[in-house]
Structure 1
């Protein structure tokens, strides 16, 4: 299982060293921003479109994904509530906290872990589908609410309704789902080009994450307000606890006691729920000029904490 984490640490370290030794020039902050926008607006939409176009959307209609989905949405909702009510964030930044608290790294980390522990990544494909079709559009819509101050309820509702239309990830996901639902065959050359482009999303996102460890963001105050280190530490700790502890426990209780799933399915649900926060949280926060410091810390430290959680789940349930 440890081998699944090594590529993540290596690419993150490469990003840090790139900024540390100015391998891309003195404007490392600008490079980081450009790479983040490339991932959000080009590479990730290509990856999600290709994945959904090849997926069977009927896979969402199974009992196991109910246990995982409820645990994920519950932790996301709890993180959002704590972020907005306790730590006094706006809804957009609260959505960053919510996503960090319940959105799992199901692709580049989840797949190798699932293969090692479960023997295959069948359930992981359903988790990826759930995150892409349901969780991502909701979170991105909430993040996009920042700056929406249209006068009048009708205008505000119209602005909110149009937010997904301007988001390349949501657009690509919707098109991919449409292709899957209509059984349209994407030409092989187009599919190959999209696969190559989509393959750049994860490594560049991790390099961008690593660069953010070095780039000085003090000159650009987060959220337009000063947040103390103590407050940020408390918020990060709570988010990591929700993601790496509460979510797998909740998933296990639902799978075992409520839905009475077979032992292997209980293991699959609990293992996937114990995965750490996805690096997508950092990319999305960067795109919307939200709290990237919190997002970065949540991704890195939840990945560290999840190593113990994943080992515990495998040891107790396998």
Structure 2
């Protein structure tokens, strides 16, 4: 229980630091955001991906947990996409809303939750692999294609070249390098590994502070015509995603006990700040994304605590 609360507290404090910077000096915070967003996207986050994936036994966790995590996320994202299509939302709004509804904060909150709810990091590692190896490249490719079609970035790129540029983005390249190191059992020399690790470790706190600055600039739930999208995203993320996880892991895959609760707890995690970072880099509309990240951070705690309580009762 203490580990769960610690994970949520760390996230809250770092977001508050970013909001405080924006409150004290809006001009300085805008300069910081303008400089840090590409730094995190092109450097620190790819380094983090190399470190996380290379330190994971890709073969051992790509069993039952990873397919469940991937299926749960894809189904949840598809549900929001159906809402977006039925309500005639633009492609960018549907794409980033689908990611915000299904991409969880496994990197920092997921680890203590998995350890204290399940007693193993296997569920969270599987979620990380599903997100880093499949979901992030998929959504980043979609974002890149939409962005290029809208003329928001790299106007000179089109066709196959534009799709390849979107597919092999910095995050995906970092995941591929990490996966190659894991599969081959190779390790980088210490003079290279330690700087890589240090740069990667800066990614999560920087992302959280950037989000805090953005949150202060545009307060949550203030854009009324986007509230239906936010509500739909929250229903998908905080209610339907854990239910889908329970159905697939329990009745379909036959998991029970701590294994089942581990899958549900991972699905109940809040939306990751990476979604905001990826969307900002590709000029996606981010009002709904910020609202979903903010609200799901609060809604996920009681769901996760309920999972822990059910484990204790069992």
TM-score (norm 1): 0.88
Match of 2:107 in 1: 107
Q: Shift in Å at residue 244 of structure 1?
A: 1.2
Match of 1:193 in 2: 195
Match of 1:176 in 2: 178
Match of 1:204 in 2: 206
Cα distance in 2 for partners of 1:62, 1:160 equals 30
Cα distance in 2 for partners of 1:61, 1:31 equals 38
- Residues 75, 242 of structure 1: 8 Å contact kept: yes
What SS does the corresponding residue of 2:148 show, helix, strand or coil? coil
Match of 1:225 in 2: none
1:260 matched to 2:263? The reply is: no
Q: Shift in Å at residue 12 of structure 1?
A: 0.6
Cα distance in 1 for partners of 2:256, 2:309 equals 17
1:291 matched to 2:285? The reply is: yes
Equivalent in 234, 238, 257 of residue 232 of structure 2 = 238
- Residues 65, 269 of structure 1: 8 Å contact kept: no
Q: Shift in Å at residue 147 of structure 1?
A: 3.9
What SS does the corresponding residue of 2:305 show, helix, strand or coil? helix
Q: Shift in Å at residue 57 of structure 1?
A: 1.7
Mapping of residues 1-318 of structure 1, within 5 Å: 1-22=4-25, 26-90=27-91, 92-149=92-149, 156-165=159-168, 167-215=169-217, 229-318=223-312
Cα distance in 2 for partners of 1:255, 1:26 equals 48
User: Gaps (5+ residues) in structure 2?
Assistant: 151-157
- Residues 61, 125 of structure 2: 8 Å contact kept: no
What SS does the corresponding residue of 1:108 show, helix, strand or coil? helix
List per-residue Cα deviations over 1:160-202 (Å, max 9, x = no partner).
244223x111111112222222222211221111111111111
What SS does the corresponding residue of 2:217 show, helix, strand or coil? coil
What SS does the corresponding residue of 2:13 show, helix, strand or coil? helix
List per-residue Cα deviations over 1:202-222 (Å, max 9, x = no partner).
1011111111123369xxxxx
What SS does the corresponding residue of 1:116 show, helix, strand or coil? helix
Q: How many residues get paired?
A: 301
Q: Shift in Å at residue 268 of structure 1?
A: 0.8
Cα distance in 2 for partners of 1:209, 1:149 equals 27
- Residues 148, 156 of structure 1: 8 Å contact kept: no
Q: Shift in Å at residue 80 of structure 1?
A: 2.8
What SS does the corresponding residue of 1:184 show, helix, strand or coil? coil
Q: Shift in Å at residue 302 of structure 1?
A: 0.6
Match of 1:222 in 2: none
- Aligned CA distance change for structure 1 residues 176 and 28 (closer, same or farther; 3 Å): same
Q: Shift in Å at residue 157 of structure 1?
A: 4.3
Higher mean Cα deviation, 286-295 or 8-17? 286-295
List per-residue Cα deviations over 1:130-149 (Å, max 9, x = no partner).
11101110010011112434
- Residues 29, 215 of structure 1: 8 Å contact kept: no
Query: CA-atom RMSD, angstroms?
Result: 2.1
TM-score (norm 2): 0.89
Cα distance in 2 for partners of 1:148, 1:6 equals 38
User: Gaps (5+ residues) in structure 1?
Assistant: 218-227
What SS does the corresponding residue of 1:120 show, helix, strand or coil? coil
- Aligned CA distance change for structure 1 residues 8 and 146 (closer, same or farther; 3 Å): same
